[in-house]
Structure 1
Amino acid sequence: MRINSNLSFQSLARSYHATAGLLFAHGKSSRHSTRDIASSPPPSLYQKIKEIVSADDPFAADGLAAATSIPATAQPSPSPTISIHFPTSKEASSRCAPDVCLNASIGNHRPELANIEEISSVVHKVTEIIRANSTVILMEEHLEEMGVSFTPEIVENALKRCFKFGKLAIRFFEWVKHQPRFCHTTEIYNTVIYIACEAGEFGMVEKLMEEMDANLCAKDVKTWTILISGHGKAKKIGKALWAFEEMRRSGCDPDAAAYEAILQALFTARKAELAFEFYKEMVLKKMKVDIKIYSLLMDCLSTAGYIEKARSVGEDMIKIAQLTEAETYSSMLRSFCVSAKVVDACEIFGEMQKKSLCSDLKVYEVLVKGLCRASRMDEAMQVVNDMKPDLDPGGVIYGCLIDGFFRSGQACKALELFSRMRELGCLPKVSSYTQVLQHLFVSGKYSEACELYEEMLQEGVGADVVAITAVVSGHVQNNNISEAWRVFEDMKHRGMRPTRKMYSVFIKELCKTSRATEALRLLNEMSSSKIHVSDYILCLVRNSIARNGEHKKARIVEEEYVCQLAEHQPDLEGHEASSPIDAFDEDEVKELCKILTSSAKGDALHEKLDKIDLVFSPVLVKEAMRRCQRHGRAALEFFSWVGKQPSYCHSSETYNMAIKIAGSGKDFKHMRNLYQEMRRNRCNVTPNTWTIMISQYGQTGLTELALKTFKEMKIEGFKPNGSTFKYMIIFLSGKKGRRMEEAIQIFQEMLPSGYMPDKEMVDIFLSSLCESGRFVEARKAVKSLCKRGFQSQLGYSLK
């Protein structure tokens, strides 16, 4: 076929004009031009696409390159708009070639169906047979016994109703094509291709495409759109791009739905630059761009750092989509906050203030939430303080601030703000109550937490499952088991179903307090509710029973549940947000560790991480990294990846773990960069952070750097803790890089600070003093230690 040579992206490099004019044909260039930023030009868009396609399928890449030499033909007619999520068109079917249908027409004596009601009844019966999948009588035999003539309408509608039963639906499709006088239509192929894509059966998809060609069944724009969408959802971006080009080569002119499908695929793969080029083509073809596409494109560009391009999309939203300035600026603000570009978000907010576009409380909520996620609490508080008098921050904005203070380790400020908002007559959200309750329980303020919970209920704030989980856990931790059961049962009486997370937390706390019988009761209830019991929870209960001396009962429990665990029954509760009490379970950690300990690196690792469906919390991230310390590079890549997720913010503990892993790998430059990043993000730096860096230097014999870091720590205003003193003295007393003068000074500083050394440190320190001939200092050290409680026998080690 021929494509008009005038249709090309003039905004791309000349090499792209020469070799891939066919690939993304469109009218005159837009105002978005590509600039040369170096003496050697960057790879063209065509080259980038070819690299992506080659990674998925080298043969597809060859086909893509070959497209440039195809002769031109007439322009195809436009195709109707379709839904890419499921084929629902009622248009006339494109039948197979007449000779194919004729050859299949012999021997049919079945009655024809005349009216809509009869057809609907047959479709319903066929659907029941497919879904039943009887093991006694084959599906095919059931269908034969119906004795009806299958029409394309019946087959298409039956397949649509069975799209979740992928393999069974495909079996029906294969069976019916062998029936007399029946021939599959384009619409039927479209439906079954969609089903195969949803089931991940891409080998079957290729077979179906080949079968359409063999049967001379025409592929329409809908066929290609379904193919693009299916590959895009599976993150096979190369295949999706190849399908888009094949659609053009086949004579189908992509419509808005096809462009939306390829854009969705590029958004999923985070290919912001390619997505922007396809978007520009849509604009030049004067296609209507859905508001959702504008928003997703802006998110994708913002995440990739293309702020100017994101702003240009905003301009198009005003000029082309006819959105108001307030709507457009609010959308840009949200995108910048979600992608953690808070500096750019603040600039947009400043422009909105100048244009008087900040009358909506939602604008402040978005900005405050973005600043809190970035741990920029001072700026967030300033935004709230500067709000117009007629705007009330309300529970949502105050809730964002409280969450931000807790996340950044500033619990005192969170509690202060919580009290202040109540004094102002602002009713906190249930999430804020939950966070404060959890903090009070953990801090040992049990009575205060109980009073607050009762006050919450009296104020009419309905406790959700997460809040009740926090309260139940708090009661168990404080040995008030009867009250925990009362709250738990009261929740069920109010019609709320306990989730897997709640059962897991309750069972864990009961096992910690040796309440094995009650933990087993919960385990049985969990199983009867058809909620998956993880092997971790089972082990907790079994071990708790065994610790009570009931070993036989423990074995029976294990045997009873082993079959259930092997089947991995689905969790009917679905995926839920992390509880503040128990941010992860063993299954989630194992899933992450399996990925981090695999051989995947770089983009391959990111692709695997993108596919998992987990709600990340700092506790989950820290635990996964702790277990994968030997796979340091993967753990640090994961740390970097998860930090860019829109709904996640690193804590001090996750930074400390990353610093430890970087130092263990002797990547001290990266270790220091992580510390600087921690400070830039205003994450709470603690003495433990400094101690970790000091220990990493000391373990490799770099005592000079360890000592320098120790001094720097004190200059920065941080007080060394017991671990800091211990490691400094051990490292300075070691044979490699021994510096006993400094070790003695630090030892003399340690005791007045209120920290007592342990036996390991004392043994190493005294031995090093004796080896260095410093017997006077050694005896002085022994006397000091004996005065502070060490046994008098300590002195015999010097004799």
Structure 2
Amino acid sequence: MQKLAPFSLAQPPAIFSGFPQLLLHGIRTSANHHDFSSTRPFPDYSPKKPTIRDEEVVHQISTTIKLRRSEPLVQVLKPIETRFRADHLIWVLIKIRRDFRLAMDFFNWARARRRLSAEARCIIIHIALACKKPKAAYQFVREFVSECDNDVDSLDHFVDKVIYTYKEWGSNPLVFDIFFRVLAEFGMVEDTLKFFERLLNYGYLISTDSCNFILVHLVKTGKIELANKVFNELAEEGVCWNTESYNIMIHGVCKSGNLSDGRELLIRMEANGCSPDVISYSTIIDGYCRCGELQSALEIMKEMTDQGLRPNAFTYCSVMVVLCKNKRMVEAKELLREMMNNGIVPDSVVYTALIDGFCKDGNLREAYELVDEMKQRVMELDVVAYTALMSGLCRVGKMVEAEDLFQEMIRKGINPDEVAYTSLVDGYCKQHKMKEAFHLHSQMLQEGLAPNIVTYTALADGLCKKGEVETANELLHEISSRGMQLNVCTYNSLVNGLCKAGNLEEARKLMAEMKGAGKFPDAVTYTTLMDAYCKLGMIEEAYNFLKDMLDEGLQPTVVTFNVLMNAYCASGRLEDGRHLLNWMVQKHIMPNATTYNSMLKLHCINSDMRASSQIIKEMREMGVQPDENTYNILIKGHSKARNMKEACYFHGEMANKGLKLRASTYNALIIGLCKRRRVAEAMRLLEEMRMNGLIPDRDVYNRFIDLSYHYGDMELTLELCDEVVEKCLTGKEHQENSYVA
């Protein structure tokens, strides 16, 4: 056991903040379940009697140290030092016991020169408590317990002496609580409980506040079952657990994932007369949040407010973090405002969680508004917040802005970590800027940072997307030879690269290699291969991969089904697509707009607009909202079928939602209006299209050139002729002549 430094009052232990209340505790004989009828009294103290010569030495020492002025003890006791024996200490302490400072100084002088007995050590503890110095007593107990690792000063012997000296040297029961706490802090569980039982024999019950220390130790070390056993057994012995006790246990069971036990403890504490406080509820809320059970967390939060308790910063932070992870950013922002309205100032952890959530949601405007709020509150962004912003910028391809943030972070003295570097590396790789990505990789190494598997996966993915699959493979073999374990994402990047290169046989071999390396293919692996086979028209092969997934116990995602759905519909196999949709629903996989768009596209190609209306109705019944692609498909379909009323209706609905038409959709809508001789509306759409930077196709230009010439508007005719030559006849036209799924 670690030996502590010599005793000093310079740094009192913070653990004593609750000890003044404990001075009120005495020997308990009520409000408990232990039978004290068979208890025995504390033993009488009978110290060894000094000889006449000893009495002379003791008198000389006590007189000398009492009469000294500013001289140090070392100096005034120098003449007596050779005659001093360890036994003299106790006899001197008897004479100076009312002066703690003097007693402590003499004790420290004595133990620097002689080996002191356990009895003498216990006496100085009692003296400290008698002089109302509990912090000093605590420090002495810690020192002495830490040294009880030999036969002479064994722990049992020390306990005997604490009890033996108790009656004569102060009779302050706080000594037992201090001793109990120290044993608990040292993790000596068995000795702590043995000490508890021994004191019961003398009719003394350790205070609840002290008993909490053993619970804290057991919970901190993850011994939840033992903590629960101690909790129940000490209650049977008469310990009346308080709110803090229950909170410790709630924290323990929630930490181990037993949230139902946490809720049971909440009910139990109320039944035992303890009122749950904000910590009780917040601990359970945090437990549910960590397990991703957001709804349960929100229910407990409501229950808490119904009890008249206001959430604290920890409560709000727990819920907001999980809301952000679930991309429920509107609710997270509302909770932030509620928190601030309740007078609770959010800290950097809360702001960083929200910034990260908005960045991952693609809402950089909201993220930067929060950054401005932080600056107004004089809060500095840390490496986590900077990394979240950089990742958000990289995600939307704003690499210049991301690089500027990276340099700003360095200028402010914030050292980028592996995650910060990797976010930039990934951003450059996604834009196929491999030179910049590898430069950052080299910079990481120069800074003494170790690129991790995520960094190398990003690099391999970037190389694969540029068609450099062999280079990516060499890179990964190199890092693998250095002992770095490839993960599923890394293998998936290579599989994707091989599929894009059309090398499906190698992709399948790599899939088998994954299994051999103990990295089993996931839904992404299978979906990537299915997509590659579908694009080659090998739909049955892709379907077999879906069956293999299910045989392996993997749950297909909506993307997996969408790949197959798109292939069926693109090849005109609408009935197979409908069967696949029904199968999805049976598997409890919610279809999304992309799922329905594949079917919608086929109906529009076949000009079956009644069937397309049925698809829209079915989508809305399933709670699936049409996306931008849905509207583009519908408008093009209705325009080509000359259903201009419906086409214009969907165009208006699309505009109200802030969604944008594609060039091909504008073209179809304009031509449809022209065919219905609604030229003014068509002209307005043409102007809108040109203002949005989109280029009409040659058919649209030809129609408006003819119309402007027919109406004698030569200026517009010549302008359109110049434009069509520039945009359509010089190879600069923007082509988008097909439905996009």
Q: TM-score, normalized by length of structure 2?
A: 0.45
Structure with max Cα Rg = 2
RCO comparison, higher one (Cα < 8 Å, 6+): 1
